[in-house]
Amino acid sequence: MDLLEVNDICKTYGSGETAVHALKHVSFSVPRGEFVAVVGESGSGKSTLFNMIGALDTPTSGRIRIDGRDIFEMEDEKLTIFRRRNIGFVFQSFNLIPELSVEQNISFPVLLDYKKPDQTYVEELLSVLSLQDRRNHLPRQLSGGQQQRAAIGRALITRPMLILADEPTGNLDSQNSSEVISLMKTASRRYQQTILMITHNRSIASAADRVLQVSDGILTDLGGYAG
């Protein structure tokens, strides 16, 4: 069964002669455990697609199902809870809370849900992320690569069905970029995570199982090779 189903999504901003058609009848599906990259130039519509799948914006038409559930048929409160429990986000700018330590940042989404973090799992993530000796450090005391690894840990802590990564290597040098992508592939395999990664970098995208391209709001499946 496909975890993610995107069916005929359209997104139009404005109306009449000034209308901008950001997405044009986009359809694709992603099986559980697949690591998919979405490539495209700035303004191509890939970030709009990211926002639709993450339920951060609503489409003009079409449907998106995650684990068989139409996310736009949910009431706002239920959608917020569903997103928090089932979708992990990784952003280019890390978005760590500056006053919290690495361990606290990783555990934060669980605390938001009024639950107690599984300490065994926290320890496992710190080990996988090579952050054991940085667990008590604040974000400003970390390198860019370490901050992004902490952000990935935060995305993994709720064991979400889907991880959405928006230009996760955009602020990193080549070595840290390679390490972050390798870590995401490890997470995909080790935890059976389904990952959708937005990137403009075709070299980075080539590490994914499959590559989708968005150009002028139209999506094309490039298969397993970025070209």
Model confidence over 41-64: pLDDT tens digits? 888 999 999 999 999 999 999 999
Pairing verdict, β 35-39 and 194-199: parallel
pLDDT of residue 226: 43
Q: Which of 40, 38, 41, 50 is nearest to 11 (CA)?
A: 50
Residue 45 lies in a domain: yes
Q: Average the pLDDT over 171-186 and give the result.
A: 85
- State how many domains the chain has: 1
Residue 164 lies in a domain: yes
Residue 143 lies in a domain: yes
Tokens of residue 225, six digits:
């090779």
Residue 18 lies in a domain: no
Q: What angle in degrees, to the nearest 10, is found between the helix axes of 144-156 and 102-112?
A: 30
The DSSP secondary-structure symbol of 100 reads S
Model confidence over 68-85: pLDDT tens digits? 999 999 999 999 999 989
Residue 11 lies in a domain: no
Residue 130 lies in a domain: yes
pLDDT of residue 215: 94
Domain that holds residue 50: 33-58+78-223
* Residue 162 in this model has a pLDDT that exceeds 80: yes
pLDDT of residue 183: 83
Question: CATH no. for residue 171?
Answer: 3.40.50.300
Residue 20 lies in a domain: no
CA atoms within 13 A on the CB side of 134: 23
Residue 117 lies in a domain: yes
pLDDT of residue 212: 96
Report the predicted TM-score, pTM, of the whole model to 2 decimal places.
0.89
Residue 12 CA, distance from chain mean position: 23
- Distance (Å) of CA 203 to CA 50, 60, 158, 169, 192: 20, 32, 29, 12, 23
Average pLDDT, the chain: 91
Confidence of residue 174 (pLDDT cuts 50, 70, 90): confident
Q: Average the pLDDT over 188-200 and give the result.
A: 88
